[in-house]
Amino acid sequence: MVEASGDQGDTKNAKGKHPERDENHAAEDEERVEESDMEEEDDDEGGEDEPKLKYARLTAHLLSVYRNGDATSAFLVAGDKMFVGTHYGNIHAISLPSFKTLRFYHAHQASISCISISPFPPPLPTALPEGVSRVASQAQTPKRAPPVKSDPGRNSSYTPPAEVIPNIPSNAVYIGTSSIDGTVCVQSLVDIKDVNVRNFARPVQAVALSPDYKNDRAYLSGGLAGNLILTVGGRAGSISTSTTTGTAAATASGWLGAVGLGTNTGKDTILHSGEGAISTIKWSLSGKYVAWINEHGLKIMRSNLQLESADADAAWKRIGHVDRPQDDGWEEMAAVWKGRVEWIDERSLETDEDDKARETSTSSPATSKLKQQVSKSNMRIEKLLVGWGGTIWIINVHPGGVGVGKNAGERSVGRPEIIKILRMDCIVSGLSLYTPTLLLVLAYTTPDEEEDEEKEHLKGHKSKASTTSTSSEPRGGIRHRQNALSPELRLIDLNTSQEVDTDTLTVSRFERLSASDYHLGILPAPRATPIAQTPRGTLETLTGMGSGMWNATINATALLSSSAASTHSKGSKDSDSKQSGTSSARGNISQRNTAVHPHLAAPGIKIFIHSPYDCILATKRELSDHLSWLLEHQKNQQAWELIDEHPEVISSSPEKLAEIGPPTPDRAQASSDDFYDDASTVDSASRLIYSAVEKEKRRVGELWIQQLIKANDWAAAGKVCGKVLGTAQQWEEHVYSFVAANKYDEITPYIPTIQLRPPLKSEIYEAILGFYVGRNRPKVRELLDQWPPDLFNIESVTTVLENQLNYRDVREDSVEDGLVGRDWRIVMESLGKLHVAAGKPREALKCYIKLQDADIAMMLIKEYHLVDVVADDIPGLILLRVSKEQEQSAPIEELKEATSEAIALLVNEAQHGLIRPEVVVQQLEDKNMTLYIFFYLSSLWKGESIEGRASENIQRLIDESRTLVDEFADLTVHLFASYDRELLMDFLTKSTRYTFEKATQECEERDFIPELVFLFSKTGQAKRALYLIIGRLADVSQAISFAKEQNDDDLWEDLLEYSMDKPRFIRGLLEEVGTAINPITLVRRIPEGLEIEGLREGLSRMIKEHDLQHSISKGVAKVLRGEVAVAQNSLRSGQRKGVKFDVVHKPEDHIDVAASDVPSTIDGVCASDLAKDFVAHKPKQEPKPGHCVGCREPFSEYETETLVGFACGHVFHLSHLLSYQHESRPVTPPDVELDENGEWAMTHSVGAKVTHARLLRDKIRDGCPVCASITVS
């Protein structure tokens, strides 16, 4: 029971939970060391809450402490070390979590009353890689533990250990101990020679080393003498007597030391005295404050550390005190009850899931005040917890500074403030903060005499008698003192002062233990996780990696190897024991201590509970513990959800992984595997862990389902099946159980809709469909929409549905739920879906046409090209989207829109030649569906299905589509005239296949004048057409345009004759006739005296038009003449220019003229005379290409003379061109002269070149001389 100050009310009694006791004492258990389960026993399971802590007995790991009947009397845990003092005066410094003894020494001759270390807390060891740590431990740690004296005498002298401890920051610790033998011993953990023993001649109950003891060599002590003594100095390795004892030797030593003549034995100063025995002394974590308890109450003083110069006088000044309660019993028990003092580092506290809920709930005034103070103060407030007797104080020590308010101007070095007081129904044997809102209390309780007999009959509250304690019960028949109850570990909500959790601890010989025999030690969660240690077991590997599946996968090699090693070790235990008949206790102890306890390796706060004969570790329950508790209490839903949300809860559980662990390899195989890459091993471990998670989820899920089925909650069970079942075998078992119970509706929504591997039997799906086909056909449609067809046998389900149509009362006109043909439509729709799934689109199309489901029917026709299926029922295809009501009363546009898709499909098929237009038109005519024939033919004529195609010959395709309409030309004229007049004119103008007489009749019946005008003009009845325009349309513009198109003088004459008595027509002729007729003729035909409105404007417009036409004609003629002149000049210039020509290449043996003897006479006539006559009368020969016109010689590539060619093709040597028709001209070109040797040579004189250019220009100014002579002649 907790009673809070400030009328906060009493807490309810928490239900006692008695852990199972260890039946064999640790000292006697040499064969096997087990972890104490510490499970709570409570027969009333209905309202049991899950505990927050789990417990493990560490006694077996501390067997060296309890040897030779020794028992612990003092205990301290800090950093990575545990310090234990015994009743024999021995000190054990033990490393955590390996429980390796770092230092053992005999410090006192009697029971040790208190242990203090400096610094507190010590720094944690530096994180090193695992391999480095292993090498260091092998190099510095001996293979066997140092020998321990079996029976250390109480009067034996101090003997330091010989083992060497590495001098690292985490080991640089001084251990201060006090004893009831009146001595205080301060020993360095690293240096065995650095020890100081001081005798105070009276039992010392408490000692507190200075946080800076390494430098100031100061500590505080107190005991039964009632003096709070400050000891400073002292020579290392010496044993001295305190100067406060009053003996002559002590007085002389103190006086000589003061004058500098004696040895340095230290100085003792009494800081406080006269208020009874001192039971507890504690320095604050910062070292600024010291708290101690004597018989009158709690005192707090300012130390000499971290003082400012202005506050130097405040050293060892008391800043506050709390008087002891004045309740009954305190006068006698104040000196008996040991006060418990703890300074709290709030930064190291963890929060749990319930902290946020507690913080948001209604907080107490004290908690609200604390939050306000913390928010206002920038400096750190130190928190102090004090437990004394049955009272707990929570005190905030505020830092010093200049006072405010009524203390303005005063300077203080600290100010304590009590923020909460709790009154317990027990004796406080230890206390600390578990979280910022939960107080942890180790409670010592004694039963009342009246309750003693009642509790013997209460289940779950009776403690088991300890079998390891042979003297726990009194031997005589008289009970000298009342037996104590088992201690309790309580968690108290500081906001409500309610006990949220209470665990009853079973410790050895608890019946005869007092409140001062128990000790509570706390190791807060480290801020930085230490490095992994030496080879570990499966549980340690998983825990050290962090309880996540990802980490387990990364370190899978270590996981599997450690698991195999652990299995091998366990398997060989029996054989080893057979081979070795005896094994020493020392060997067993060494072997057990090498393993790291899994609870110590786990992250989070560590709570140590020490009694003289036991050590218990309490830690926060992990997810795996929560899962075990849920399964144990049949909370299967929460257990499954926990595994689903946190799969690492299985990977962090060694029991679950052991079920799927790999076989144990032999040593040779294990060594050979080291040579290969372990990537496959990691992958294998990942699969194993995943398999374990899934296996456990299925197992818990089945338990959950069975639990719901037993509770007859089939709906929830079905829902859970869909969530937790994963294999076909599981589904088959549970579905059959639902079917047997006729619970189809409960399981059907959750059956898998995807194919499992291996697949679920199709009979299950068929049975469910068969059940609903006869009872709930809408459910069948829903299931077929959800279930893929590969889950069941399509033929079987199709047969069942067809039987519904053939043998059941499922008709098109049946009524279900007020709907006509509802079930018939469902069955037909289902059959259509199944036919499609079975690869029978033709059968499916028939079903959808009966249903008039145009969307699916058209999709099937297009996708599977099934137009031939509906070729015999074209009207049915067209009317797929047209209801009977629409067919009778809907407007044309609505019907056109409804039939557009089917019409487009038929048009497309007609263009491809699959369904001829004759077939479509014939079936529609048989059904008297004239309007739909119009839709079809108009789409064919427009080529609507072609417009969307990407082709360069779209116009050709449209023309081909129109030729299909020409076969129904007269019908088309009739339909177009009836439904679309614009399309009629387009058809009349572009088609020639229709009959003019029928077309004229259609237009005359409907009085379509423009169409008749077109028809008459095509048949040569221009006058009739003109009179229709003039008489019926009275449109002078159209009449003039028509006359212009026909370009017939008689037609113009008729138009003028008709218009002369109509002023409006005359004005129209004047304005629009233009140059089509002679304007003078038009003006002369106008009757005199006829009043014509707008005559002047008409004449002006006509004159302007003629002037404009004349101006345009004149301009065009001028432009034309200019263009002709330019073209002629270009031609002449081109003709005068030289042209390119080719030089004839002849072989070397070619001879142009053959040599022969000249005959002297020919036919009696002299040859010379004949030659003269030939030259005089020689015929003019056309020059050959490639030959000079003058000399008739062919050109060669070695020509040295300039060649001149003309556009006509004649080419001359320059000399021959100059002498052509002018033989008097010199034949030598001006740029060639005779040299000094009489040879022709080129000259470069300017005069010759100018003369040459002048002669050449004069010669060729008129062009080619040959052509010029021909032109002249």
Asked whether the predicted pLDDT for residue 881 surpasses 50, the reply is yes
**Best CA proximity match to 86, nearest among 610, 616, 612:** 612
The CB-based long-range contact list for 888-893 (8 Å cut-off, 24+ gap) reads 892/931, 892/979
Q: How far apart are CA 670 and CA 688, in angstroms?
A: 19
pLDDT at 360: 60
pLDDT at 327: 79
pLDDT at 1221: 64
Residue 862 and residue 840 in contact, taking contact as beta carbons nearer than 8 Å: no
DSSP-based three-state secondary structure for 424: strand
For 433, phi then psi, to 5°, come to: -100, 125
For 501, phi then psi, to 5°, come to: -160, 135
Which pLDDT tens digit goes with each residue over 1096-1152? 676 777 777 777 777 888 888 889 988 998 888 888 877 666 555 556 556 666 665
Measured at the alpha carbon of residue 824, what is the angle toward residues 821 and 825, in degrees to the nearest 5?
A: 85
Which pLDDT tens digit goes with each residue over 999-1043? 988 888 888 888 888 887 777 777 777 777 777 777 777 777 777
Which pLDDT tens digit goes with each residue over 510-551? 989 999 999 999 999 876 544 444 444 433 433 444 433 334
Q: How far apart are CA 271 and CA 367, in angstroms?
A: 34
List CB contacts of 863: < 8 A, sequence separation 6 or more.
841
Which pLDDT tens digit goes with each residue over 176-234? 999 999 999 999 999 999 999 999 999 999 999 999 999 999 999 999 999 999 999 88
Confidence of residue 955 (pLDDT cuts 50, 70, 90): confident
- Angle between helix 794-807 and 762-773 (nearest 10): 20
pLDDT at 1072: 66
pLDDT at 569: 35
Q: How far apart are CA 41 and CA 34, in angstroms?
A: 19
Mean pLDDT of 442-464: 56
Asked whether the predicted pLDDT for residue 952 surpasses 60, the reply is no
Task: Provide, rounded to the nearest whole percent, the portion of the chain with pLDDT above 90.
Answer: 33
Measured between its terminal Cα atoms, the distance across the chain in Å is 154
Confidence of residue 502 (pLDDT cuts 50, 70, 90): very high
How many CA atoms lie within 13 Å of 194's alpha carbon, on the beta-carbon side? 13
Q: Give the containing element (helix H, strand E) for 986.
A: helix 981-990
Q: Give the containing element (helix H, strand E) for 232.
A: strand 228-232
Asked whether the predicted pLDDT for residue 307 surpasses 80, the reply is yes
Distances from the Cα of 1129 to the Cα of 1134, 1256, 1272, angstroms? 8, 22, 21
Measured at the alpha carbon of residue 655, what is the angle toward residues 651 and 656, in degrees to the nearest 5?
A: 50
Q: How far apart are CA 1026 and CA 1054, in angstroms?
A: 9
Measured at the alpha carbon of residue 662, what is the angle toward residues 656 and 666, in degrees to the nearest 5?
A: 135
How many CA atoms lie within 13 Å of 1039's alpha carbon, on the beta-carbon side? 26
Confidence of residue 980 (pLDDT cuts 50, 70, 90): very high
Which pLDDT tens digit goes with each residue over 34-48? 333 444 444 444 457
Confidence of residue 271 (pLDDT cuts 50, 70, 90): very high
Structure tokens at 237: 């390795």
Which pLDDT tens digit goes with each residue over 915-938? 899 999 999 999 999 999 999 999
Q: How far apart are CA 103 and CA 158, in angstroms?
A: 13
Which of the pair, 1102 or 431, is modelled with greater confidence? 431
Amino acid letter, 604:
G
- The partner residues of 81 in beta bridges, in order of sequence, read 78, 95
Asked whether the predicted pLDDT for residue 831 surpasses 60, the reply is yes
pLDDT at 1268: 75
Q: How far apart are CA 426 and CA 440, in angstroms?
A: 14
pLDDT at 449: 52
Q: How far apart are CA 355 and CA 363, in angstroms?
A: 12
Asked whether the predicted pLDDT for residue 54 surpasses 50, the reply is yes
Q: How far apart are CA 915 and CA 908, in angstroms?
A: 9
Which pLDDT tens digit goes with each residue over 576-620? 333 333 333 334 433 444 467 778 888 889 999 999 999 999 999
Asked whether the predicted pLDDT for residue 407 surpasses 80, the reply is no
Asked whether the predicted pLDDT for residue 387 surpasses 90, the reply is yes
Distances from the Cα of 941 to the Cα of 163, 831, 903, angstroms? 112, 39, 13
Q: How far apart are CA 693 and CA 391, in angstroms?
A: 48
Asked whether the predicted pLDDT for residue 701 surpasses 70, the reply is yes
Mean pLDDT of 131-153: 43
Bridge-based pairing of strands 438-444 and 488-493 is antiparallel
Q: Which residues of 1001-1017 are buried (b: 16+ CB within 10 A; e: fewer)?
A: ebbeeeebbbbbbbbbb
Give the total residue count for the chain: 1273
How many CA atoms lie within 13 Å of 2's alpha carbon, on the beta-carbon side? 31
Mean pLDDT of 1082-1092: 68
Which pLDDT tens digit goes with each residue over 321-350? 999 888 777 888 888 889 999 999 988 888
Q: Give the containing element (helix H, strand E) for 560.
A: helix 556-571
Q: Which residues of 19-32 are buried (b: 16+ CB within 10 A; e: fewer)?
A: bebbebbbbebbee
Distances from the Cα of 1153 to the Cα of 995, 1147, 1149, 1178, angstroms? 83, 14, 12, 18
Which of the pair, 167 or 950, is modelled with greater confidence? 167
Residue 553 and residue 689 in contact, taking contact as beta carbons nearer than 8 Å: yes
pLDDT at 127: 56
365 torsion bin: left (phi>0), alpha (psi -120 to 50), beta (else): alpha
857: exposed, middle or buried (C-beta count within 10 Å: 0-12, 13-18, 19+)?
A: buried
DSSP-based three-state secondary structure for 1202: coil
Measured at the alpha carbon of residue 820, what is the angle toward residues 814 and 826, in degrees to the nearest 5?
A: 80
Task: Supply the DSSP symbol for 18.
Answer: B
pLDDT at 992: 87
Name the one residue in this structure whose structure tokens are 């145009």: 854
Confidence of residue 422 (pLDDT cuts 50, 70, 90): very high
Q: How far apart are CA 685 and CA 661, in angstroms?
A: 9
pLDDT at 308: 83
pLDDT at 1213: 83
Count the Cβ atoms, other than its own, within 10 Å of residue 571: 10
Cα-Cα-Cα-Cα dihedral of 435, 439, 441, 445, to 10°? -140
Task: Supply the DSSP symbol for 352.
Answer: -
1058: exposed, middle or buried (C-beta count within 10 Å: 0-12, 13-18, 19+)?
A: middle
List CB contacts of 486: < 8 A, sequence separation 6 or more.
18, 463, 504, 505, 506, 507, 510
Q: How far apart are CA 1120 and CA 473, in angstroms?
A: 146
pLDDT at 1155: 55
pLDDT at 1133: 78
Average pLDDT, the chain: 76
Q: How far apart are CA 22 and CA 534, in angstroms?
A: 29
pLDDT at 409: 60
pLDDT at 1140: 55
Count the Cβ atoms, other than its own, within 10 Å of residue 133: 17
